[in-house]
Amino acid sequence: MDTLEQFREETRQWLLAHAPKSMCTPVRVVDDLCWGGRRAQYPADVKRWLDVMAERGWTAPTWPKQYGGGGLDKAEAKILSQEMAKLGVRAPLVGFGLTMIGPLLLQEGSEDLKRVHLPPIGRGEIRWCQGYSEPGAGSDLAGLQARAVIDGDDFVVTGQKIWTSYADKADWMFLLVRTDPNVRKQAGITFLLMDMTSPGVSVRPILLISGSSPFCETFLDNVRVPRSQVVGQVNGGWAMAKALLGHERTMIADIFKDRAPGNPLLELARRYLPASAARIADPIIRDRITQLDMDAACLDLTLKRSQDSMKAGHKPGPETSMFKYYGTETNMRRRELMLAIAGPQGLGWEGAGFDESELALTRDWLRSRGNSIEGGTSEIQLNIIAKRVLGLPD
């Protein structure tokens, strides 16, 4: 048996022995997932699953072992995720630490920053949030105004962030601040790491159209952030911001892939369209389902093509914006279609006359409307493609 096959077998055995049964069930709502953090309270199985996986470094399988990762190479990490998928076992931990700031620190962080911040991420001890957007700086992110002035060993930060997902639950924030107002707007930005318990930080949740309130306004009033918490160079934050957006968009494209086993659209059609035991009777719904299946298949194949080409040594470029664009647009179309199939049963807000899955369907649809906004809007992705891939003029 070659070593990879041996690794697969051992991994499978280990997962079978250690994954609690309750963790081998599909996630119903995002709150079922384990986001970690100091303030989190989790059911015993969730906590146990996090702990055993973190101990092996398998919450961050490809990170180096000295930073709390699993030290796996790409092939091994792929096997791990395949074996987890086969068992239907949940990810032990999710969040911006693992998918955004962690990868950025590995790529750009100083040795000190890596040693301080990476291991607690892997153990699920610290939850992170992203402080990019401001009331006057959304799509035009480089126009941000939150100011940071040097005072001794610290920066003193003043300003406001908005749409900060989970700021009320996070322990630390990575944020962009203006450190030089007198240069080209991209040139005066610095990338900082800030403890949310620092004096002067206050957070106010904002209610979403889906009824939940995952994001917040964050006010920064003379907050002291040690200069040791700069990632990259002072005034060199724009490059960091863009590198991180690369990770973010890849994650977003990936996160909205439909991973449910079987074909949820089909199951939904069979449930709600009475005459569709075998063949879906409504020809329009049938065509829309097929179209979506095919589009998802083409997107998956394109992601695979891009990965194969990276393996062959090509660097990913601005064309990756198409994954963010098409992945989120496809997810939104899927949610629309689910609503269309459920018909009036997709209209429930709470309680009587709707079961839990129907209520989730409605709220997932509402939440999905944010997919084409968060992480850079669809229009911005198309701008990037037109300008940087196709070379169209300004």
Ligand X SMILES: Cc1cc2nc3c(=O)[nH]c(=O)nc-3n(C[C@H](O)[C@H](O)[C@H](O)COP(=O)(O)OP(=O)(O)OC[C@H]3O[C@@H](n4cnc5c(N)ncnc54)[C@H](O)[C@@H]3O)c2cc1C
CA neighbor of 86 nearest in space, from 178, 24, 138: 24
Whether 179 and 155 have beta carbons less than 8 Å apart is answered as yes
Smallest distance from the beta carbon of 324 to other proteins, in angstroms? Answer: 11
Catalytic residue of the set 55, 111, 248, 374: 248
Site for other proteins in 308-367 (CB under 8 A): 308-309, 312, 319, 322, 325-326
Q: Which of 5, 298, 316, 355 binds other proteins (CB under 8 A)?
A: 298
Helix ranges restricted to H, the chain: 3-18, 44-56, 74-87, 96, 102-108, 111-122, 237-255, 264-272, 283-311, 321-342, 356-368, 378-384
138 binds ligand X (CB under 6 A): yes
For the chain, the straight-line distance linking the first and the last C-alpha, in angstroms and rounded, comes to 57
301 binds other proteins (CB under 8 A): yes
Q: Which two tokens stand for residue 125?
A: 């001890």
Q: Which is nearer to ligand X, 129 or 322 (CB)?
A: 129
Whether 97 and 29 have beta carbons less than 8 Å apart is answered as no
User: How many CA within 13 A on the CB side of residue 182?
Assistant: 0
How many residues bind ligand X (CB under 6 A)? The answer is 20
Smallest distance from the beta carbon of 380 to ligand X, in angstroms? Answer: 6
Q: Which is nearer to other proteins, 207 or 281 (CB)?
A: 281
272 binds other proteins (CB under 8 A): no
Whether 142 and 185 have beta carbons less than 8 Å apart is answered as yes
8-state DSSP, 314: P
Smallest distance from the beta carbon of 350 to ligand X, in angstroms? Answer: 21
Q: Which of other proteins, ligand X, none interacts with 277 (beta carbon under 5 to 8 A by kind)?
A: none
Distance CA 295, CA 301 (A): 10
Smallest distance from the beta carbon of 188 to other proteins, in angstroms? Answer: 27
75 binds other proteins (CB under 8 A): no
Binding range to other proteins, per CB under 8 A, among 98-106, 167-175, 299-307, 348-356: 299-307
Indicate if 248 belongs to the active site.
yes
Q: At what angle do helices 321-342 and 264-272 cross, to 10 degrees?
A: 20
Distance CA 209, CA 212 (A): 8
Q: Which of other proteins, ligand X, none interacts with 259 (beta carbon under 5 to 8 A by kind)?
A: none
The count of other CB atoms within 10 Å of the CB of residue 160 is: 17
Q: Which of ligand X, other proteins, none interacts with 304 (beta carbon under 5 to 8 A by kind)?
A: other proteins
CA pseudo-torsion sign 58, 60, 61, 66 = negative
Task: Catalog residues that contact ligand X under the rule CB under 6 A.
Answer: 129-133, 138-139, 163-165, 215, 370, 373-377, 379-380, 383
Q: Tell me the catalytic residues.
A: 248
Task: Catalog residues that contact other proteins under the rule CB under 8 A.
Answer: 263, 266, 269, 276, 278-280, 286-287, 289-291, 293-295, 297-299, 301-302, 304-305, 308-309, 312, 319, 322, 325-326, 379, 381-383, 385-387, 389-394
